[in-house]
Structure 1
């Protein structure tokens, strides 16, 4: 695809969005109450992700016990049908998944109050049903919602989004076509602050452009945080209403 098609002279992207617009964002919590202590379903653009949180629970072996706090385990399962066309398999894909899991554990180790749950394990399973760019940001958002639904203490929301750089223009919340055509950065931001819990740079970003990319990324995560908070509050009101009616 030609670079000229990514961002038109009129300031429109392939899907009709402006440079600073998020993709469609829909989420729900407590979606798999029979299978986990906390769960969420999230659609961010064409990304579709299910998150299951189990725990805090007793570790399966003594080697996993940490007397100072809980051990956080995150596994990412990317289904073979998640991407248009044939899914690539092999060592490259496995390495990518391992890198994502490592980055996610590091991100949430700093954000979950693990010290409140000594000698336990928190097991998080993420199932990617469909992917279309900006996947790491979507995974962060899904995990955040799942942890909150499980009642696990966190310092604040962690919200994620990707930003691409088209020549000198930052493009918020990139899809796969945009990611393939430009350098991208994924941000994980703590609450409504400017504190980064994740900064993942794909390819090279000129230093003199990084400030603009950072600014639009943080603003985007704040909007996502508000959307997630709205859903969490809605879910809590629903639980209270059900408890009162029961």
Structure 2
């Protein structure tokens, strides 16, 4: 199967610098959590809820100067074509959980919430490439919905390199067949909150891939910001009545 045709088209008809369909909603579970969100990037679907800041149940989780950020990541058995039971102690899940915790400890103003826990629960319902990016975007929206102070949006995207051509927002087939890079960009800047490269990539191509990834992340940030503002205006209009 040809991932990138001579005409410059990918399997799903996109060009090299085009995003997949991106949809997001916040406040999806208002009665069961402090903040919640739902994100679709292509066929990758992620649901996220946030509890907190709450008092820790264990003394070991209590930090006198800042909040403790805890991420629980689960992938549904039906998320991929191959149905398989996934263990919470799977090495890959633990690595992603630790990476997300470090990312959001730096992005949330944890010094404002000493001696508390911020619990983030993420459920991946469908996995079709760019899973880590979709999870990071869902967490950002759920944390904002919970009213927890952040320095700025963390908008995330997955990019890859096919021969010498950089590709933006990879689907599952592309991700399995080429070197891929996931980045999370802080707001409108070019600073990175998240960077994960799991395969070898030529150093002279890296700058080019990072630049298209940052541009793609900025587009996603705009879409996320539109949803947050729309929800904010809806809440404001209800309060005015």
Map residues 166-245 of structure 1 onto 2, 5 A cutoff. Answer: 166-245=162-241
CA contact (8 A) 2:8 2:15 kept: yes
Distance between the aligned counterparts of 1:164 and 1:55, measured in 2?
Answer: 36
- Deviation, structure 1 residue 86: 2.5
Map residues 99-114 of structure 1 onto 2, 5 A cutoff. Answer: 99-114=95-110
Q: How many residues align?
A: 241
- Deviation, structure 1 residue 61: 1.5
Structure 2 equivalent of residue 162 of structure 1:
158
Distance between the aligned counterparts of 2:84 and 2:9, measured in 1?
Answer: 30
1:142 aligns with 2:138: yes
Q: Which runs of 5+ in 1 are unaligned?
A: none
Q: Deviations over 1:92-131 (max 9, x none)?
A: x811110100000111111100000001100000011111
Q: Which runs of 5+ in 2 are unaligned?
A: none
CA contact (8 A) 2:75 2:86 kept: no
Distance between the aligned counterparts of 2:105 and 2:55, measured in 1?
Answer: 18
Partner secondary structure for residue 86 of structure 1: coil
Distance between the aligned counterparts of 1:19 and 1:88, measured in 2?
Answer: 34
Partner secondary structure for residue 110 of structure 1: helix
Root-mean-square deviation (CA, aligned residues, Å) is 1.2
Distance between the aligned counterparts of 2:60 and 2:48, measured in 1?
Answer: 26
TM-score by length of 2: 0.97
- Deviation, structure 1 residue 241: 1.3
Distance between the aligned counterparts of 2:84 and 2:230, measured in 1?
Answer: 37
Q: Deviations over 1:130-173 (max 9, x none)?
A: 11011000011000000000000000000110001000101000
Distance between the aligned counterparts of 2:107 and 2:87, measured in 1?
Answer: 32
Partner secondary structure for residue 171 of structure 1: strand
Map residues 77-88 of structure 1 onto 2, 5 A cutoff. Answer: 77-87=74-84
Distance between the aligned counterparts of 2:105 and 2:86, measured in 1?
Answer: 29
- Deviation, structure 1 residue 90: 5.8
Partner secondary structure for residue 107 of structure 2: coil
Q: Deviations over 1:190-231 (max 9, x none)?
A: 011111111100211000100110100101101100100000
| Aligned counterpart in structure 2 of residue 122 of structure 1, from 109, 118, 125 | 118
Distance between the aligned counterparts of 2:192 and 2:115, measured in 1?
Answer: 28
Distance between the aligned counterparts of 2:86 and 2:183, measured in 1?
Answer: 27
Map residues 22-101 of structure 1 onto 2, 5 A cutoff. Answer: 22-87=19-84, 89=86, 94-101=90-97
Distance between the aligned counterparts of 2:37 and 2:238, measured in 1?
Answer: 19
